[in-house]
Chain A
Amino acid sequence: MSAGEPLIRWDWILLHLGDVAQRVAQHLMLTGIAVGVGFVLSLALGVWSARRPRLYSSVTWAAGVLYTIPSLALFALLVPFTGLSLLTAEIGLVSYTLLILIRNIVAGIRAVPPEVRDAALGMGYTPRQILWRVELPLALGVIVAGVRVAMITTIGLVTVTALIGQGGLGFFIIDGIQRFFSTPLIVGASLSILLAIVVDGLLVRLERLATPWAR
């Protein structure tokens, strides 16, 4: 960005390979915790509200408000209480996964044909067995679709947590902006996009493995 400076300095990348690997690992950890915790919460809320339309609209309304608040603002609101910490980053990141995951879990459960549920009931399945052995397996395709979107969104949002001292690859972006140095900026931005694409590809494979009946 300064005159005479190349857009990418390969020697910088070679010198910082260790840092880059460490930030990739941090990025994956921040994403994994957020989507993991978000999924458990969403599964509970989704199963609870799937057959209760009024409850479902309040749940999605609340998740929708959280989703609308810009990420940096949500992190900023938490900083006075939880500091520039991993917890602050994760509360924000988890909040953003809820709307996407709950919607897909509920849509998946609702899409199970009533005949299938009746058949399971007729075979003597308890409601709990129907949920775990019939409804959730059949809903898996829609649920995984939601997990993919949540994962991609979270990988993007993790970069923003660099502003509150976390950040994974976002660290390089902020570092590059602050030092007017384009190499780390481009490394951070490209790798975060690449990470999203790779993780998405892996999830597609996982889904194929988990739903042999859909092949």
Chain B
Amino acid sequence: MSIVAEVARWLADPAHWGGSDGIPTRVAEHVALSAAATGVAVVLALPLGVYLGHARRFDFGAINIGNIGRALPSLALLAFALPVSFALGLGLGFWPTLFAMVPLGIPPILTNSVTAVREVDRDVVDAARGMGMSGWELMRLVEIPIAAPLIIAGVRNAAVAIVATATLGAVVAGGGLGRYLVDGLARQEYARLVAGAMLVALLAIATELVFGLFERLVVSAGVRRELSLAATLQ
């Protein structure tokens, strides 16, 4: 039987759509873990990045830390997270994966939010100050809306990297869709392996699309028009 038919049969098998190793459970685990990690990374990095960009203080330092962070390989992070998790008595699975994912999510969010806010047109900022806006108002009403597309792009990149790393969580006995890959490889069950890989790929692409949609909803029409104009001129 060809691999395509095998995968189709695996996916059509009702046994794979229920229970603790079923597709809905594994997708839910994967999404929950990724959402938790992205959430923590956003809370840690986004306010800090926006503030540093606004205050124009330590901004280059933040960008550099962000760039260094990008060099951290996900499997190495997972490797370091494992002894930490054991030392804290949290064991295998969810926690070490979360520990590995958060530092992976921080750099793109930090770099993008610092850069985005810092690069807001100085004339616009001066005009807002001239109109009597306080620092807080300036940030909330001017800098963040203008910086929004780049900030969201940073969160999107972080989320996609996190969804990918959540797959590796299965290596340290975590749940999620990575289970199908690790088990499929271990048992040489290619139908499970390929079906799992397709689901992971779809989830990553879906993450990208969801953030694209979110950007359309959040970014103001004026900023979007400016962006598309800049893209055509390039």
Query: Which residues in A have some Cβ–Cβ distance to B below 8 Å?
Result: 1, 7, 65, 68-74, 76-77, 79-81, 110, 149, 152, 155-157, 159-160, 162-164, 170, 173-174, 176-177, 182, 185-186, 188-190, 192-193, 196-197, 200
Would A159 and B193 be within 8 Å (CB), given that A77-B198, A79-B185 are in contact?
A: no
Smallest CB-CB A-B distances: 7 pairs: A156-B73, A70-B164, A189-B76, A76-B197, A189-B79, A73-B200, A73-B197
Number of B positions contacting A (CB below 8 A): 40
Give complex CA distance A73, B181 in Å: 7
Min distance, Cβ B66 to any Cβ of chain A, angstroms:
13
Question: A185-B83, A189-B77 are known contacts; what are 12 more A-B pairs with Cβ within 8 Å?
Answer: A69-B201, A73-B197, A80-B3, A156-B71, A156-B74, A170-B75, A173-B79, A176-B79, A189-B79, A192-B73, A196-B73, A197-B71
Would A200 and B71 be within 8 Å (CB), given that A76-B196, A164-B185 are in contact?
A: yes
Give 30 pairs: A residue, B residue, CB < 8 Å, sorted on A: A68-B160, A68-B204, A69-B201, A70-B163, A70-B165, A71-B164, A72-B168, A72-B178, A73-B197, A73-B198, A73-B200, A76-B193, A76-B196, A77-B198, A79-B190, A80-B3, A80-B194, A156-B72, A156-B73, A159-B75, A160-B74, A160-B75, A164-B185, A173-B75, A173-B79, A190-B76, A192-B76, A193-B72, A197-B71, A200-B71
The SS class assigned to the B binding surface is helix
> B182 near A: Cβ within 8 Å?
yes
The SS class assigned to the A binding surface is helix
Give complex CA distance A69, B160 in Å: 9
Min distance, Cβ B115 to any Cβ of chain A, angstroms:
16
Say whether A74 contacts B197, CB under 8 Å.
yes
> B32 near A: Cβ within 8 Å?
no
Interface 1/0s, chain B 195-234, versus A by CB < 8 A? 0111011001100100000000000000000000000001
> B82 near A: Cβ within 8 Å?
yes
Say whether A196 contacts B194, CB under 8 Å.
no
